[in-house]
Amino acid sequence: MSSEMQEMIDQAEKDLLHTYNRYQIVLDHGDGVYLYDTDGKKYLDFMAGIAVFAFGYNCKEYNDALKDQIDKVIHTSNYFYNEPAIKAAHMLRKVSGMDRVFFTNSGAEAVEGALKAAMKYGYLGDGRTDHEIIAMNHSFHGRTYGALSVTGNEHYREPFGQMCCNVKFADLNCFDSVEALVTDRTSAIIMEVVQGEGGLFCASEEFLRKCRELCDRKDILLIFDEVQCGMGRTGHMYAWQKFGIKPDIMTTAKALGCGAPVGAFLMTEKVAQNSLVAGDHGTTYGGNPLACAAVAKVLEMFERIDIVGHVNEIAPYLESKLDGLVNKYVCITGRRGRGLMQGLVFDRPVGQIIKTAMDNGLILINAGSDIIRFVPPLIITKADVDAMIAILEPAIAMQ
Task: Name the residues that contact ligand PLP, by CB under 6 A.
Answer: 106-108, 111, 140-142, 192, 196-197, 225, 227-228, 253-254
User: In the chain, where do the E strands start and end?
Assistant: 27-31, 34-37, 42-45, 100-104, 132-136, 166-170, 186-191, 221-225, 249-252, 263-267, 332-338, 341-346, 362-363, 365-366, 371-374
Closest approach of Cβ 113 to ligand PLP, in Å? 12
On whether the CB atoms of residues 95 and 101 are closer than 8 A, the answer is: no
Given the complex with ligand PLP, which of 84 and 107 has the nearer CB atom?
107
Q: Spell out a b/e string for 131-141, using b for 16 or more CB atoms within 10 Å of the CB, else e.
A: bbbbbbbbbbb
Residues 6 or more apart in contact with residue 218 via CB below 8 angstroms: 182, 186
Helix, strand, coil percentages in the chain from 3-state DSSP, rounded to 5: 40, 20, 40
What one-character-per-residue DSSP string does 293-307 give?
HHHHHHHHHHHHHTH
Given the complex with ligand PLP, which of 104 and 187 has the nearer CB atom?
104
Q: Spell out a b/e string for 258-267, using b for 16 or more CB atoms within 10 Å of the CB, else e.
A: bbbbbbbbbb
Closest approach of Cβ 140 to ligand PLP, in Å? 5
Please give the C-alpha separations between residue 38 and each of 8, 25, 56, 59, in angstroms, as whole numbers.
10, 8, 19, 20
On whether the CB atoms of residues 235 and 341 are closer than 8 A, the answer is: no
Residue whose Cβ sits closest to ligand PLP: 107
Given the complex with ligand PLP, which of 196 and 377 has the nearer CB atom?
196
